[in-house]
A and B are shown apart, each in its own frame.
Chain A
């Protein structure tokens, strides 16, 4: 390695730039903070307006329920991007192992400030989430538990789930981080143990396809607020999700 300190610095800056882009050098000059606000925007103004907190609450659990192609992953990514504003950081606990960095970036998620975690099972996912809350450094911890909420995987959860959720709740409340759980709808029976801790529950459902020149360019989604401790009462809002064509030659 080169002994010249200025050359090493130059090379290191080059390495930082090469790996994480020019913007990372701006990140390195700005201290991060968990943030002062008590809520995180969902990324959709219409949805923020119908939520009692004006977004999802920090130090609380928000559930996103849906089925494949409901739009809940898009909503999750938009939430993550929102949590990362002003140099915030987030974690994505990808138990389903289907995190798509390409489209996350298109939702304005910053990969530089996202920690991706791929645990072996639900127990490890919840343990890691608890540790992340205890560290108290992240704006958002998102748990993608879609694969864990199938009938077959639920058989193994037993009564431990209630204990695991209780253990992570206290550190969450103290942390100031927001916790989001992605689950298959309808909410699987073992996961009803989450009920006593959930602050907000949103059901995401696709309504109609949106077309552009004979191609399905997106779809209309109905988001139902099933539970909101800040503002009780069921409410609904419609969102249009469209997918931009960014990479040349790619049919998406």
Chain B
């Protein structure tokens, strides 16, 4: 199940939130260039005058002379985007930002895995409520088996949560304009020339005809017109890192003392990651020696970690590989390749039945025998490839 969370006039609304005096004004956000200035985004009032993102400033001003010009603030938008992603990462770590629509419209695709319709609807309501409450921006949510029908559901029902019933995707998208398809400018022009204005019209054509007319792009558009979209959600990654460090007035030579420091650093790092709801894939350890040398080592982990115990073990592993001929003046640990940390099942219940007991047992045995314990969960239950229907997750000792 894919959720499309759509925030129309995203950049304009963010600008208004940061400066309430702009409320009610027709806004034109501009990317000023040395030679040419372009429209980055517009408010609803300016859009009604047929001004679109990407248009030249001069043409835009001709269409809407009363628009208030504002320099597009990329940092401000990035902050708003990050804030929204942090909210959405509570639900899934597979979230894709539609770069083509950004920043005019905020379009976020969430891969929610396998869900029943009523659960999806419930979750859609939650998502909409949460985003509207936190950002004070009108949000539409579309829910469907693929990105495109979810997008159409969100775009076609502003301010609502709309679920496309399974196997009815083709019928659902049919009456909508072909403008919603991700077609190139040239393809859009040719569709208009051929008087193909609705998605259903495209879907009704023979596949071979569409392919011969529109080539490779036609293959995708034809599938989308049938309501079929198996393009995966490409997860958005956090670019930043987290670094913790300790410096010593007297160089450390005692390894026991160094181990204690390592544990403290691991706890600090784990707390930082928890605040960001993140886990790390990569760790770099830098050791500063008293002869002003720096020794470093790094490791990329196959599975992300976030607990202080796992981080401490990784740091110790890295330190063991480094020769320390002199005393240690400083120790720096950097966590990189951060990914959202999906909440694991919390022990909310006082008794330990069935599954929870099984996982506890697995963790105890994993500590003894190593990581050869797995749990299987449904992944793409209707995939045509049997190896993709389920996924095996390792149960780690922790």
A/B touching: CB–CB < 8 A: yes
Chain A contact residues, CB within 8 Å of chain B = 1-2, 8-12, 14-22, 24, 27-32, 87, 89, 99-102, 104-105, 111-120, 124, 127-128, 131-132, 135, 137, 247-250, 252
B91 at the interface (CB under 8 A from A): yes
B326 at the interface (CB under 8 A from A): no
Q: Roughly how many angstroms separate A7 CA and B348 CA in the complex, as a whole number?
A: 13
Selected from A31, A104, A114, A248, the residue in CB contact (under 8 A) with B353 is: A31
Contact with A along B329-369 (1 / 0, CB 8 A): 00000000000001111101101111111100110110011
Instruction: Please name all residues of chain B whose beta carbon is closer than 8 Å to the beta carbon of A18 when the two chains form the complex.
Output: 112-113, 115
Contact with A along B116-155 (1 / 0, CB 8 A): 1001000100100000000000000000000000000000
A15 pairs with B362, CB closer than 8 A: no
B354 pairs with A119, CB closer than 8 A: no
B277 pairs with A1, CB closer than 8 A: yes
- The residue in chain B whose Cβ has the minimal distance to the Cβ of A250 is B384
Instruction: Please name all residues of chain B whose beta carbon is closer than 8 Å to the beta carbon of A8 when the two chains form the complex.
Output: 346
Q: How many contacts between A and B, using CB within 8 angstroms?
A: 127
Distance from A205 Cβ to chain B, minimum over Cβ atoms (Å): 26
Distance from A65 Cβ to chain B, minimum over Cβ atoms (Å): 25
Instruction: Please name all residues of chain A whose beta carbon is closer than 8 Å to the beta carbon of B113 when the two chains form the complex.
Output: 18
B377 at the interface (CB under 8 A from A): yes
Contact with A along B364-398 (1 / 0, CB 8 A): 11001100111111100010101001101001000
B362 pairs with A115, CB closer than 8 A: yes
- The residue in chain A whose Cβ has the minimal distance to the Cβ of B115 is A18
Q: Roughly how many angstroms separate A8 CA and B345 CA in the complex, as a whole number?
A: 11
- Given known A-B contacts A87-B353, A137-B357, A247-B382, A116 and B376 have beta carbons under 8 A apart: yes
- The 8 closest A-B CB pairs, nearest first, are A101-B390, A116-B374, A101-B376, A32-B354, A27-B354, A111-B376, A31-B353, A32-B353
B348 pairs with A12, CB closer than 8 A: yes
Chain B contact residues, CB within 8 Å of chain A = 90-91, 112-113, 115-116, 119, 123, 126, 274, 277, 342-346, 348-349, 351-358, 361-362, 364-365, 368-369, 372-378, 382, 384, 386, 389-390, 392, 395
Q: Roughly how many angstroms separate A123 CA and B212 CA in the complex, as a whole number?
A: 61
Distance from A133 Cβ to chain B, minimum over Cβ atoms (Å): 12
Instruction: Please name all residues of chain A whose beta carbon is closer than 8 Å to the beta carbon of B355 when the two chains form the complex.
Output: 20, 24, 27-28, 89, 112-113
**16 A-B contacts (beta carbon < 8 Å):** A1-B277, A17-B119, A28-B355, A111-B376, A111-B378, A111-B390, A115-B358, A115-B373, A115-B375, A115-B395, A116-B376, A124-B372, A128-B369, A131-B368, A135-B361, A247-B384
Selected from A21, A127, A137, the residue in CB contact (under 8 A) with B361 is: A137
Q: Roughly how many angstroms separate A127 CA and B123 CA in the complex, as a whole number?
A: 44
B90 pairs with A119, CB closer than 8 A: no
B91 pairs with A31, CB closer than 8 A: no
Q: Roughly how many angstroms separate A10 CA and B374 CA in the complex, as a whole number?
A: 26
- Given known A-B contacts A14-B91, A102-B390, A118-B374, A30 and B354 have beta carbons under 8 A apart: yes
Q: Roughly how many angstroms separate A113 CA and B372 CA in the complex, as a whole number?
A: 17
Instruction: Please name all residues of chain B whose beta carbon is closer than 8 Å to the beta carbon of A102 when the two chains form the complex.
Output: 386, 389-390
- The residue in chain B whose Cβ has the minimal distance to the Cβ of A135 is B361
Q: Roughly how many angstroms separate A248 CA and B145 CA in the complex, as a whole number?
A: 15
Instruction: Please name all residues of chain B whose beta carbon is closer than 8 Å to the beta carbon of A21 when the two chains form the complex.
Output: 378
Q: Roughly how many angstroms separate A117 CA and B277 CA in the complex, as a whole number?
A: 30
B375 pairs with A111, CB closer than 8 A: yes
- Given known A-B contacts A1-B274, A15-B342, A127 and B369 have beta carbons under 8 A apart: yes
A111 pairs with B346, CB closer than 8 A: no
Instruction: Please name all residues of chain B whose beta carbon is closer than 8 Å to the beta carbon of A10 when the two chains form the complex.
Output: 126
B384 pairs with A120, CB closer than 8 A: no
Instruction: Please name all residues of chain A whose beta carbon is closer than 8 Å to the beta carbon of B342 when the two chains form the complex.
Output: 15
Q: Roughly how many angstroms separate A82 CA and B12 CA in the complex, as a whole number?
A: 60
- The residue in chain A whose Cβ has the minimal distance to the Cβ of B386 is A102
B376 pairs with A1, CB closer than 8 A: no
Instruction: Please name all residues of chain A whose beta carbon is closer than 8 Å to the beta carbon of B119 when the two chains form the complex.
Output: 17, 22
- Given known A-B contacts A20-B377, A247-B382, A116 and B392 have beta carbons under 8 A apart: yes
Instruction: Please name all residues of chain A whose beta carbon is closer than 8 Å to the beta carbon of B375 when the two chains form the complex.
Output: 111, 114-116
Instruction: Please name all residues of chain A whose beta carbon is closer than 8 Å to the beta carbon of B389 when the two chains form the complex.
Output: 101-102, 247
Distance from A78 Cβ to chain B, minimum over Cβ atoms (Å): 18
Instruction: Please name all residues of chain B whose beta carbon is closer than 8 Å to the beta carbon of A250 when the two chains form the complex.
Output: 384, 386
Selected from A104, A111, A137, the residue in CB contact (under 8 A) with B377 is: A111
B372 pairs with A117, CB closer than 8 A: yes
Distance from B131 Cβ to chain A, minimum over Cβ atoms (Å): 14
Q: Roughly how many angstroms separate A128 CA and B370 CA in the complex, as a whole number?
A: 11
A119 pairs with B353, CB closer than 8 A: no
Selected from B91, B123, B361, B376, the residue in CB contact (under 8 A) with A114 is: B376
Instruction: Please name all residues of chain A whose beta carbon is closer than 8 Å to the beta carbon of B126 when the two chains form the complex.
Output: 10, 14
B123 pairs with A12, CB closer than 8 A: no
- Given known A-B contacts A28-B349, A87-B353, A250-B386, A124 and B373 have beta carbons under 8 A apart: no
Q: Roughly how many angstroms separate A125 CA and B123 CA in the complex, as a whole number?
A: 42
Q: Roughly how many angstroms separate A99 CA and B389 CA in the complex, as a whole number?
A: 13
Selected from A14, A32, A120, the residue in CB contact (under 8 A) with B357 is: A32
- Given known A-B contacts A1-B343, A15-B343, A116-B392, A28 and B354 have beta carbons under 8 A apart: yes
